[in-house]
C-alpha cells in the first residue's frame, strides 16, 4: 500500500514553531540555572558589581564607572533572595546570601535573550516562506542559547547581559511596531524607546542599539523628525529617570557624576597596567583572546570557567557577515549603475528627481538591518584606546548569529539536496562544539589533559 505524505497545515506548523521555541528557551534556562550556586565565591567582576549592589541595599552607594541600572537589578535579586528562609551566609560578603541570590536575576535575563532573538528573527523573516521563517527564528535563538560566552556571562552577577537584554527588547518592540497601525504603533515605539533608554542606563555603549535603528530607517524618516521622539527624547528621558534612586541615596550631582565617569574612562587608556586578557577589537570576530573567569585545581581535577564563545559558531558567523556584507555592497553597486544608466537616458527629455525611499522593505532590508547593526555595535570600538575585552563584542555577536541563521534558513529551503546537507552539517558541528566546550562554560571538573585538549589556540590560555 502506498503511503501518501500530506503537507503540514498552518496550524501544525505553528504548533511545531511553539514547541521549538519552548525547547530553545528550556535549553537556555537549563544552561544558565543548572548549578548556579556551585562556586560559593565572587567570580571575575562580581567582586565589583555585587558589592555595588549591596551598597544600594545598605544605603551606601559606591562610585562606579557605569550607569546604575545593572546594579539595581542585581540588588533587587539580592533583596528578594535574602528574604527567603533558605538564605545562607556567603563566605566573601559576610551577608545572609547564597551565590544564587545575586546571580539569578542575570541568569533570568540571559535565559530570555534567545526568546527576544527569536522574536526579532520572526519579525525580520516576514517575507520568507513560513518554514524558512521558523527555521530562521529557531536557529538564531538556539545559537545564542548555546554560545559559551553568553552562557558564562549569564551565570554570574555581571551586567553585559542586562545591556543586551534591553537593547534587543527595544529592537523587537520597534520591529513589531512596523507591522502595526495607529496608536498601537506609537505605543510600541514608545516602549522601544523606554527599553533603549534602559539599555544605555546599564552601559553607555548601549546607545549603539538605538543608533542602529536610526541608520536602518534611512534618511526619509530621519528627515521627518519622527525618530527624534522615539529614539532620542524618550531614551534620554528614561536614562535620566533611572539615575534618580542613586541620586536620592548618594546625594551626588548628576553632572559631576558623569564628568567623573568620563574622566575615569579617559584615564584608563593612559599608562594603565595591561590586563592579561585584554584584546583588540579586530581580534574579536576571530575569537583569538577569550577571558578566564575562574580557575581552581583540587587534587587531579581542574575547575575552569572560560568566556570562550563557541568557536565554529563564531567563525562561521563572521564568514556569514562578510559574505552578506559583500553581497549587499554588490547589490548597492548594481542599483547605482542601473540608476545612473536610466538617468542618462532621461536627461534632456524629463526633469531629474531624487527617488523616494520605498515605504515597504525591499529584498535587501534584512541584510541591511543585520549588517548595519553589527557594524555600529563593533566598529566604534576601534576608537577606544583603553584595555578592552571579548565580552564587548557580544552585542555585535548577536547580529552575527542572526546573519548566519538567516543564511542557513534560506539554504535549508533550497531544492538542492547538497545545499541542505551542507547546512545541516554546519549546524551539527556547532552543536557538537557546544558539547565539547561545555565543561569550561559550566566549570565542570576536568583533568589537566582534558582541559589542554580544549585549547586549540595558544592565545586561548
Say whether pLDDT at 62 is over 50. Answer: yes
The HSE-up count of residue 41 (CA atoms within 13 Å, CB side) is 6
Residue 49 in contact with residue 74, Cβ under 8 Å?
Answer: yes
Percent of the chain past pLDDT 90, that is, above it, reads: 64
Beta-bridge partners for 295: 304
Q: Is 90 exceeded by the pLDDT of residue 331?
A: no
Lookup result for grid cell 567570580: 43
d(CA 191, CA 185): 10
Q: What does the pLDDT average to over 338-354?
A: 43
Name the phi and psi angles at 435, rounded to 5.
Answer: -70, -40
Question: For 202, how many CA atoms within 13 A lie in the half-sphere containing its CB?
Answer: 24
- The verdict on residue 406 lying in a domain is yes
At 259-276, the pLDDT tens digits run 988 888 777 765 555 678
Helix axes 69-81, 99-124, angle to 10 degrees: 130
- In this structure, the chain runs to a length of 461
pLDDT at 227: 78
For residue 336, the model assigns a pLDDT of 59
- Range in 304-308, 329-333, 397-401 the model is least confident about: 329-333
Higher-pLDDT residue of 139, 179: 139
pLDDT, position 379:
97
Q: What is the mean pLDDT of the chain?
A: 86
pLDDT grade for 361, boundaries at 50, 70 and 90: very low
CA distances from 360 to 127, 205, 334, 356, 364 (A): 11, 30, 20, 11, 11
- Asked whether 370 and 318 are in contact (CB, 8 A), the reply is no
On the question of pLDDT at 359 being above 50, the answer is no
Give a yes or no: residue 372 inside a domain. yes
CB 56 within 8 Å of CB 139: no
Angle between helices 130-146 and 417-442 (to 10 degrees): 20
Q: How far is CA 102 from CA 15, 25, 90, 96, 299, in A?
A: 36, 22, 11, 11, 29
Q: What is the DSSP letter of 89?
A: B
pLDDT band per the 50, 70, 90 thresholds, residue 12:
low
Closest residue by Cα to residue 397 from 275, 290, 274, 239? 290
pLDDT at 247 over 50: yes
Name the least confident of 91-100, 142-151, 392-401: 91-100
How many angstroms separate the CA atoms of 240 and 234, rounded?
10
Q: Is the pLDDT of residue 340 over 60?
A: no
Q: Tell whether 23 is covered by a domain.
A: no
Residue 1 confidence (pLDDT) above 50: no
Domains held by the chain: number = 1
Q: What is the pLDDT of residue 81?
A: 85
Task: Please give the Cα distance from 411 to 316 (Å, whole number).
Answer: 14
From the list 424, 399, 415, 427, the residue with the least C-alpha distance to 124 is 399
Query: In the structure grid, which three cell numbers stand for residue 62, read together?
Result: 559606591
Q: Is 368:215 a contact under the CB 8 Å cutoff?
A: no
CA distances from 258 to 22, 386, 416 (A): 42, 18, 57
- Top mean pLDDT of 42-46, 220-224, 338-342, 364-368 is at 42-46
pLDDT attached to residue 265: 77
Confidence of residue 317 (pLDDT cuts 50, 70, 90): very high
Phi, psi of 301 (to 5 degrees): -110, 135
Span 228-245, mean pLDDT?
Answer: 94
In a domain, 134, yes or no: yes
In tens, the pLDDT along 27-48 reads 999 999 999 988 888 999 999 9
- Position 347 scores a pLDDT of 39
**Residue 117 belongs to some domain of the structure:** yes
Interacting residues of 84 by C-beta distance below 8 A, sequence separation 6+: none
Segment among 85-94, 154-163, 187-196, 314-323 with least mean pLDDT: 85-94
Class of residue 82 by CB neighbours under 10 A (exposed 0-12, middle 13-18, buried 19+): middle
Query: pLDDT for 284-311, tens place per residue?
Result: 999 999 999 999 998 889 999 999 999 9
| pLDDT value of residue 9 | 59
pLDDT value of residue 412: 92
Question: Among 16-20, 166-170, 265-269, whose mean pLDDT is lowest?
Answer: 265-269
What value does the mean pLDDT take over residues 82-94? 60
Structural domain contains residue 157: yes
Would you place residue 370 in the very low, low, confident or very high pLDDT band (cuts 50, 70, 90)? very high
Find all residues with CB under 8 Å of 213, minimum gap 6, and list them: 170, 171, 174, 192, 196, 227, 231
Residue 219 has pLDDT above 90, yes or no: no
Q: How does 318-330 read in b/e, with b if 16+ C-beta sit within 10 Å?
A: bebbeebbeebee
Q: Are 437 and 309 in contact (CB under 8 A)?
A: no
> pTM for the full model?
0.90
Domain that holds residue 125: 32-267+283-341+363-460
Indicate if the pLDDT at residue 354 is higher than 70: no
Helix (H) or strand (E) holding 368: helix 365-378
pLDDT at site 195: 98
Q: Is residue 350 part of a domain?
A: no
Helical packing angle, 130-146 and 311-346, nearest 10°: 140
Residues 104-125, mean pLDDT to the nearest whole number: 97
What pLDDT score does 357 carry? 32
Within a domain: 74 = yes
Q: Which residues pair with 298 in a beta bridge?
A: 301
Amino acid at each position: 500500500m502506498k503511503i501518501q505524505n500530506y503537507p503540514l497545515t498552518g496550524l501544525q506548523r505553528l504548533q511545531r514553531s511553539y514547541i521549538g521555541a519552548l525547547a530553545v528557551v528550556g535549553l537556555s534556562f537549563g544552561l544558565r540555572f543548572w548549578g548556579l550556586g556551585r562556586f560559593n565565591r565572587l567570580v571575575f567582576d562580581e567582586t565589583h558589581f555585587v558589592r555595588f549592589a549591596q551598597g544600594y541595599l545598605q544605603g551606601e552607594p559606591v562610585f562606579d564607572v557605569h550607569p546604575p541600572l545593572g546594579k539595581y537589578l542585581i540588588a533587587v535579586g539580592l533583596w528578594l533572595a535574602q528574604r527567603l528562609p533558605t538564605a545562607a551566609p556567603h563566605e566573601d560578603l559576610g551577608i545572609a546570601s547564597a551565590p544564587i541570590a545575586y546571580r539569578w536575576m542575570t541568569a533570568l535575563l540571559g535565559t530570555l535573550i534567545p526568546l527576544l532573538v527569536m522574536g526579532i528573527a520572526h519579525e525580520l523573516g516576514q517575507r520568507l516562506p513560513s518554514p524558512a521563517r521558523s527555521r530562521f527564528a529557531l536557529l538564531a535563538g538556539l545559537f545564542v542559547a548555546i554560545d559559551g560566552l553568553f552562557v558564562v556571562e549569564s551565570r554570574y552577577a555581571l551586567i553585559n547581559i542586562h545591556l543586551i537584554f534591553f537593547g534587543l527588547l527595544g529592537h523587537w518592540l520597534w520591529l513589531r511596531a512596523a507591522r502595526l497601525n495607529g496608536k498601537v504603533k506609537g505605543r510600541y515605539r514608545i516602549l522601544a524607546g523606554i527599553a533603549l533608554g534602559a539599555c544605555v542606563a546599564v552601559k553607555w555603549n548601549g546607545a549603539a542599539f538605538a543608533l542602529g535603528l536610526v541608520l536602518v530607517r534611512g534618511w526619509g524618516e530621519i528627515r521627518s523628525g519622527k525618530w527624534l521622539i522615539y529614539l532620542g527624547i524618550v531614551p534620554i528621558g528614561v536614562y535620566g529617570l533611572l539615575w534618580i534612586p542613586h541620586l536620592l541615596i548618594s546625594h551626588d550631582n548628576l553632572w559631576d557624576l558623569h564628568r567623573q565617569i568620563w574622566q575615569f574612562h579617559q584615564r584608563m587608556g593612559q599608562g594603565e597596567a595591561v590586563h592579561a586578557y585584554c584584546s583588540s577589537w579586530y581580534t574579536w570576530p576571530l575569537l583569538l583572546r577569550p577571558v578566564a573567569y575562574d580557575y581552581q585545581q583540587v587534587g587531579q581535577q581542574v575547575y575552569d570557567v572560560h568566556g570562550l564563545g563557541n568557536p565554529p559558531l563564531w567563525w562561521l558567523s563572521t564568514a556569514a557577515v562578510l559574505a552578506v556584507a559583500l553581497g549587499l555592497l554588490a547589490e548597492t553597486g548594481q542599483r547605482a549603475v542601473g540608476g545612473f544608466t536610466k538617468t542618462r537616458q532621461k536627461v534632456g527629455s524629463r526633469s531629474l528627481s531624487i527617488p523616494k525611499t520605498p515605504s515597504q522593505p525591499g529584498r535587501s532590508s534584512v541584510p541591511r538591518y543585520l549588517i548595519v547593526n553589527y557594524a555600529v555595535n563593533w566598529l566604534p570600538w576601534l576608537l577606544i584606546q583603553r584595555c578592552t575585552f571579548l565580552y564587548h563584542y557580544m552585542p555585535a555577536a548577536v547580529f552575527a548569529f542572526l546573519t548566519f541563521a538567516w543564511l542557513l534558513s534560506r539554504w535549508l529551503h533550497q531544492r538542492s539536496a547538497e545545499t541542505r546537507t551542507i547546512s545541516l552539517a554546519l549546524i551539527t558541528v556547532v552543536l557538537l562544539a557546544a558539547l565539547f566546550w561545555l565543561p569550561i562554560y559550566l566549570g565542570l571538573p576536568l583533568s589537566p589533559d582534558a582541559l589542554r585538549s580544549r585549547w586549540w589556540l595558544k592565545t586561548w590560555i
